[in-house]
Amino acid sequence: MSRFVAGRRRKDPGDEASSADVGGSHPLSDVIAAILSAFVQAWGTMDSTSAELAKQYWADPVLRSLPLPAFAIPQVTVRLKVAVADVSSRGGGATQSDAVRIFVEFTELQRVPEHLISEVEFSLTPREIAGVEHAEEAMRD
């Protein structure tokens, strides 16, 4: 199994190199999972900061009479430049799935002809981010 971490592919212990590994490329699913995980972490940080701010407001007699600032992000949009590095089939029969590997790092994209680079855009709402957070919690349990 591999994970996309901070702009590079990291192999887990015991991982074997596969013929699908294309130098500098990352599984599309790992890239998307890393982006979603970053949003969930940011959301948690925002909630923690709000809780700390509420304590400070409660402790101060002047601030206590004021409404708490509300942090709201109605939607987050991510635009990512990518180039497909490899598409290989895994599995068989009705459960067959395609494994897509992409280049996302600037240095790798510089080596790819410009006409092969695409921009992928996806948007997330707080409800969708919360769904990812609940799914991550369920996987940990």
As beta bridge partners, residue 136 has none
Amino acid at 27: P
β pairing state of 118-124 and 76-90: antiparallel
Per residue in 91-116, pLDDT tens? 555 444 567 888 988 889 999 999 99
pTM summary value: 0.64
Other beta carbons within 10 angstroms of residue 27's beta carbon come to 21
pLDDT in tens, 30-68: 888 888 888 888 888 888 898 999 999 999 999 999 998
Q: What is the mean pLDDT of the chain?
A: 76
Dist. CA 46–CA 70, nearest whole Å? 10
Residues forming a β-bridge with 85: none
